[in-house]
Amino acid sequence: MKTTLLLIGTAIASMSFGQSCSELFISEYVEGWSNNKALEIYNPTGAPIDLSAYMIIRYSNGSTTATAGNAVQLTGMIAANDVYVAVLEKLDTAGTGQNAPVWDSLQVRADGFYCPVYATSNAFYFNGNDAVVLAKGTVANIGSSVLVDLFGKIGENPGVAWTTDFPYVAAGVEVTKDHSLIRKSTVTQGQTNPTISYFDPLAEYDSIPAVITVGGFTQGNWSSLGSHTCDCLLATDEISDNPVVSVYPNPSTGKFSIKGAERFTNIIITNALGQKVSSVANNSNAIVTFDLKAKRGVYFVRLTDNDGNKVTRRVIIK
C-alpha cells in the first residue's frame, strides 16, 4: 500500500500534537561507512513503552511516497528514560559490497537488528540524503500512521547529504553522510511537522564523524550510542529555580567554558563510559573554563551544588 506526504499530514492533523517529554523521539542517527547504519530512540517518559506500536519509514532520494517495502516494524520494550539502539542487520562476516557486515564495534551496541534483506524492507539502508521517519502505526497500514519524529525533509533530495548551507543550495559542509548526529539535550520532543520548509541538521543535532582514525587505525565513532542526555530527565534532578547553564563553544576542539556555574561547587567531566576525565572545585565562579586533552567524542559536564542537586550538560569534542 502506498502512502503520501499528504496522508501522513492528514493523520497528524486529526490529533493534537504531542507535548514535551511525552513521546519517543530519535536521539541519534548514524550514517557510517558502508552498512554501518543505526538509529537510537529515546523514551523521555517515566514509563516503559512497547516498541511494537512503532515503525521506521524511509523516504529515499526526495520521494514523497512510501510503501511497506520502505518501512519496518520495531520490536521490544524501551525502559523509562532509556534508549533503544536499532542497527541494520548485515552480520555475515563473509559479506562484501552491499552485503558487507556491520562493524563489530557497532554490532555490540545494538538492542535489535533490522532489514536483513533489502528487497523485503529498505528502511535501514538510508544514506545522507534520505528522510527517516519514526511513526506510530503498522507497516500494513502506513497511510493511517501518526508521525512521531522526522529526520530530514520529506520530498527533498539534497544530493549527497544535507549540509551547513540551508535551505539547500548544493553548498556547505556535509553533515548527514558518514556522520553521527546526536540530538541536543535541549530537545524534548520529535519533529512532527511533515511539511517543514527546510531541514537545518545542526538546529537540533550535533554532528560528529561516524568514522575516525586513531593511531593510524580506522574505527567507528559511536561511543555515544546507548545513552542520551535530555532535559526531560534533568528536570526532575535539577534545582527548582535552576539557572541557565550552558557549554560553549559546543562542539569544541577541547577548550570550552561553562556559563551559569556560580551556584555549583563541584564540576566533573566524564566520557561516554562514565569515566572521569577532569574535575574542578568551583568557588562561586559564574564561568568556568576547561581545556581537555581528550580524543574526539561525547563528554558530560556534571555540576553539583552543596545540597546535592545536579545539572548535566553534554559537550562534543571534535
Judging by beta carbons within 10 Å of its beta carbon (0-12, 13-18, 19+), is residue 171 exposed, middle or buried?
A: exposed
Render pLDDT for 126-173 as a digit per residue (tens, 0 to 9): 999 999 999 999 999 999 999 999 999 999 999 999 999 888 777 889
Q: How far apart are the two ends of the chain, measured CA to CA in Å?
A: 43
**Full DSSP string of 15-83:** SPPPPTTSS-EEEEEEE-STT-EEEEEE--SSS-EEGGGEEEEEEGGG-SEE-GGGEEE--SEE-TT-E
Residues 25 and 122 in one domain: yes
- Domain residues for the domain of 300 are 237-317
Residues 225 and 267 in one domain: no
186, 204, 230 — which closes off a domain? Answer: 230
Residue 292 has, within 13 A of its CA and on its CB side, a CA count of 26
165, 199, 230 — which closes off a domain? Answer: 230
Residues 220 and 249 in one domain: no
Is the model's pLDDT at 297 over the cut of 50?
A: yes
How much is the pTM? 0.73
Q: What pLDDT does 274 receive?
A: 65
Residues 107 and 54 in one domain: yes
Residues 291 and 312 in one domain: yes
Residues 182 and 51 in one domain: yes
Maximum average pLDDT range among 46-60, 244-258, 283-297: 46-60
Residues 189 and 95 in one domain: yes
Residues 39 and 135 in one domain: yes
- Number of structural domains (the chain) is 2
Residues 226 and 287 in one domain: no
Residues 69 and 130 in one domain: yes
Contact 31, 127 (CB under 8 A): yes
Render pLDDT for 198-230 as a digit per residue (tens, 0 to 9): 899 999 999 999 888 878 888 888 888 988 888
Single out the residue of 137, 130, 127, 117 nearest to residue 55, CA to CA. Answer: 137
Residues 97 and 172 in one domain: yes
Render pLDDT for 226-275 as a digit per residue (tens, 0 to 9): 888 888 764 434 443 455 788 888 888 889 999 999 989 999 998 765 67
Residues 204 and 250 in one domain: no
